[in-house]
Amino acid sequence: MKLAEVFHNYFYYLVHPFKTHQLLIGGDQDSGVKPLGLYESLGVSWVFVVVAGLVRIVLINLVIFMFLGMIDPENAFLGGIIDGNSFTGFYFLILTSILDVIFYPLVTMFIIQFWEFVLKSYASLAGVQGDVDKKTKTILSVALSSHILLIVPIFGEFAQKAAHFVQMYAGIREQLEFSRALTFCVLLTPILIFLFFASFIILLFSL
């Protein structure tokens, strides 16, 4: 598959999550929508994470330079207050942006493994027929397309999380054919697991 086709499919996944799964299930070759491998999709999402990281670093530097440009260099009082330590928070944001880009594949692979386990467990309990491994990988591959929205300044991270929720919902509904209630239960599983362990730790320390 050519690089242009890969990105075309990726954008289509984002804009038409339900239709994407319907076409992938039906195997309609004339639609132009082709399945991307899970780790192929991970590689494409990393591109957008890198772009988003660069945009964030550029914006942080612009804010710093604009702030410095507004300060009167002859004002000794402000000059004494504002020094290198005043921008520690900005430097920390730059560092975290760089680390997010570097460790994104490793962290995302861990998250993928977790969701594969969750989806396969629910599919097994619900008696889903067919190639469950392929279905779960398709759900996660399509859901990764939400990372395109990270390149949107300021609201990108929130938009990405919202889109990822919709993508996962569409995938579970179409691929595993779960009811709406069961789909929401699946999506809330990480929160329920976190609450369980948090309650267990609090109970352990309270004894």
Count of helix runs (H) and strand runs (E) in the chain: 9, 0
In a domain, 187, yes or no: no
Q: How confident is the model at residue 29 (pLDDT cuts 50, 70, 90)?
A: low
Average pLDDT estimate for 39-57: 91
In a domain, 39, yes or no: yes
Number of domains into which the chain is organized: 1
In a domain, 15, yes or no: yes
73-103 pLDDT per residue, tens: 555 444 544 555 556 666 777 888 888 899 9
In a domain, 202, yes or no: no
146-198 pLDDT per residue, tens: 999 999 888 889 999 999 999 999 999 999 999 999 999 999 999 999 998 88
In a domain, 204, yes or no: no
In a domain, 203, yes or no: no
Domain encompassing residue 16 = 3-179
With contact defined as beta carbons under 8 Å apart, do 170 and 21 qualify?
yes
In a domain, 196, yes or no: no
Instruction: Give the per-residue SS3 of 97-139.
Output: HHHHHHHHHHHHHHHHHHHHHHHHHHHHHHCCCCCHHHHHHHH
Give me the amino acid identity at 149.
L
Q: What is the pTM of this model?
A: 0.84
